[in-house]
Amino acid sequence: MVIAHLTWRRLLRVHGLLLLALVATLVAAAAIGPVGLDWRRAFDPSMTSPDAVILFRTRVPRVLLAAIVGGALATAGATLQALLRNPLADPHLLGVSSGAALAGVCALVLHPVFLGRTLVVPAAAFAGALASMWIVVGASRVGGRLDSYTLLLVGVIYNAFAGALLMFVNSVVDFYQAHGVLFWLMGSLGASDYRVVGALALYTLTGLGVLVMRARDLDCLSLGDDRAAELGVDVERARLVVFVAASLLVGAVVSVSGMIGFVGLVVPHLVRMLVGADHRLLLPGSYLGGAIFLVCADTIARTALGGTEVPVGVVTALCGAPFFTYLLRRERRRAGA
């Protein structure tokens, strides 16, 4: 008898299947929209037909952006859950996203030159995400212990605080800038071009790569810091690397798409049901699963009301909030048992 274990074959099969599912989702999502497309005209080599413009200038960059944002948020969620040993952790719920958004908005407002959009804002959002994680985790640790529910409460409070500061900034800036702040608060996947998509893919895949190399450490860390140390993990170093990589993921996507909630909560849970808890499968699986999830959510957001677009964060929150309640109740029951 040979016990089940992870092999290259299993790794490639699981991720190959998820990748196929993602490609199918991307193609379907690009085909769906308020305006019907004529595929022959869209793929005409001259690329001048309205169909080609809609497909390649609007829809394709948008579905690609949705995929990357969803993948990054889900991976960050899975990572935070392992690190904090809490299946309810999520960058949005813990206020990491709003911290990133706040720092990004401040950079945008204080930086009148539009150099900000490409370099300073993402850097600020990354720093904001990292600082928020440090504050929330630090404030939740009482007497060296990190209690699950203290962590969630501190996250909720921090989230409200950062949200209030965002609204404050919103009320003191002029109308034009205020519109920009609202965009950060609601989350949006519109207005993207290939340069942004490419840069974001680079940042998030780098973060994912770093995390995958730490996947085994995350398995150990999910058992507790002392257990991880006893299993040979350099805990302080591993935590630092993982926090920075997760902040890179959150900061990068928040600076482009604003705050989109619940992806990091819902997706890792579903992927765990599919592939198990092993982080060597779970982390890349969450990236691919998160991509599929947000592309679907965004397609609903674009098309559900015909021509009017619903912010995608509304769609993810509408599925995510009941799901969170379900998970919370289940955790509570388990804790009580």
Partner 1 sequence: MSALLEAERVSFAYAGRPAIRAVTLTVGEGEMLAIAGANGSGKSTLLGLLSGLRRPSAGSVRLAGRNLREYDRRALARAIAVVPQETAIAFPYRVAEMVLIGRAPYLRGIGLERAHDVAAAERAMARTGVLDLADRPLAELSGGERQRVIVARALAQEPRVLLLDEPTTFLDLRHAIEILDLVVDLNRHERLTVVAVLHDLTVAAMYFPRLVFLRAGCLAVDGAPAEVITEATIREVFDADVEVRTDADGVPTVRPRRRGG
Any contact of residue 223 with partner 1 (CB under 8 A)?
Answer: yes
Cβ atoms of 260 and 294 closer than 8 Å: yes
Backbone dihedral angles phi then psi of residue 304, each to the nearest 5 degrees: -60, -40
∠ CA 5-8-13, nearest 5°, is 95
Cβ atoms of 33 and 302 closer than 8 Å: yes
Any contact of residue 224 with partner 1 (CB under 8 A)?
Answer: yes
Closer of 225 and 298 to partner 1 (Cβ): 225
Q: Please state, in angstroms and rounded to a whole number, the distance separating the CA atoms of residues 73 and 97.
A: 9
**Alpha-carbon dihedral 257, 261, 266, 272, rounded to 10 degrees:** 60
Among 61, 70, 87, 320, binds partner 1 (CB under 8 A): 87
Any contact of residue 321 with partner 1 (CB under 8 A)?
Answer: no
Any contact of residue 216 with partner 1 (CB under 8 A)?
Answer: yes
Please give the structure tokens belonging to residue 153.
């409460």
Site string for partner 1, 232-271 (x = CB under 8 A): xxx-------------------------------------
Angle between the 60-84 and 279-303 helix axes, to the nearest 10 degrees? 140
Candidate segments 43-51, 85-93, 179-187, 259-267, binder of partner 1 by CB under 8 A: 85-93
Among 51, 90, 219, 298, binds partner 1 (CB under 8 A): 219
Cβ atoms of 295 and 25 closer than 8 Å: yes
Closer of 58 and 148 to partner 1 (Cβ): 148
Among 72, 93, 220, 259, binds partner 1 (CB under 8 A): 220
Amino acid identity, residue 68?
I
Among 82, 129, 169, 271, binds partner 1 (CB under 8 A): 82
Among 1, 46, 171, 307, binds partner 1 (CB under 8 A): 1
Q: How far is CA 30 from the centre of its chain?
A: 21
Site string for partner 1, 165-204 (x = CB under 8 A): ----------------------------------------
Q: Please state, in angstroms and rounded to a whole number, the distance separating the CA atoms of residues 53 and 230.
A: 57
Q: Nearest approach, Cβ of 279 to partner 1 (angstroms)?
A: 9
Following DSSP, what letter does each residue of 259-289 receive, concatenated?
A: ---SHHHHHHHHHHHHH-S-HHHHHHHHHHH
Cβ atoms of 173 and 109 closer than 8 Å: yes
Candidate segments 1-9, 24-32, 196-204, 288-296, binder of partner 1 by CB under 8 A: 1-9
Closer of 182 and 231 to partner 1 (Cβ): 231
Closer of 148 and 303 to partner 1 (Cβ): 148
Residues at the interface with partner 1 (CB under 8 A): 1-8, 11, 81-82, 85-87, 212-213, 215-217, 219-220, 222-224, 226-227, 229-234, 272-273, 276-278, 280
